Chains A and B, each alone.
Chain A
């Protein structure tokens, strides 16, 4: 089925380790986003990519880097993981706007990351 695919689903890291969260969408969407979800704080935007070749910081970018590899893929990298980065990470994408107005985000199922 078409949608947003995130890998891995679960990950445990030790403080200081690095890892890359992968995200791919097959809906030909232009814009892609990375959010983190923490209890009582809702979703907070880490980085986004309005289109292939561009990336911009969101609300909480510190400690993260991103790569928009092509139109389909948008990865999130933690260079040196910290316990404060324990969270659930969601990738999302959105189709190009049309004259009928705005479009909703389509989300992946998340990556549950624990940093010890």
Chain B
């Protein structure tokens, strides 16, 4: 089956620290992988994505590389800011079928960045 496991939080970092949030997945076929971010009181927003092995998704200084050999998609940022405080979700999209896309989400990792 399909599933996503991500690092449990909460994570608290000082401003300008390096961030890694681990994500591993189990999937049949060749999924696409995503990181979503949720700010307080809002819905999830796409942060970055990768559609095939060795692809690197990047956005707003965040990066993640699709590693098929380790079934991982870890999120990294070199220097976090207070404005990065949010909940981060790793997700995969199962291969398309005649019933449509299926998405599987991790449990979310809460990040707080302190000045």
Do residues B108 and A102 form an inter-chain contact, with CB atoms below 8 A? no
Let me know if B12 is at the binding interface, CB within 8 A: no
Contact mask B75-103 → A, CB, 8 Å, 1/0?
A: 00000000000000100010010111111
A56 to B102, CA, bound (A): 11
Asked if B45 lies at the interface with its beta carbon under 8 angstroms from chain A, I say yes
Contact indicator B43/A107 (Cβ below 8 Å): yes
Q: Does B20 lie at the interface of the complex (its beta carbon under 8 Å from any beta carbon of A)?
A: no
B39 to chain A, nearest CB (A): 10
Q: Which bucket holds chain B's interface residue count?
A: 20 to 34
Q: Assess whether B41 is interfacial by the CB under 8 Å rule.
A: yes
CA distance A108 to B44 in the complex (A): 8
Q: Is A45 an interface position by the 8 A CB rule?
A: yes
Size category, A interface: 20 to 34
Chain A residues, Cβ within 8 Å of B43: 4, 90, 92, 107-110
> 22 interchain pairs (CB within 8 A)?
A31-B100, A40-B107, A41-B107, A42-B89, A43-B105, A45-B102, A50-B98, A50-B99, A56-B99, A90-B44, A92-B44, A94-B101, A97-B96, A102-B49, A102-B93, A102-B101, A105-B36, A107-B44, A107-B45, A109-B41, A110-B42, A110-B43
Chain A positions within 8 Å of B, measured between CB atoms, are 4, 30-31, 33, 40-43, 45, 48, 50-51, 56, 90, 92, 94, 97, 100-110
Extra pairs beyond A31-B100, A45-B103, A92-B44 (16, CB < 8 Å): A41-B107, A42-B89, A42-B108, A48-B100, A48-B102, A50-B99, A94-B100, A102-B51, A102-B93, A104-B46, A105-B46, A108-B43, A109-B42, A109-B43, A110-B42, A110-B43
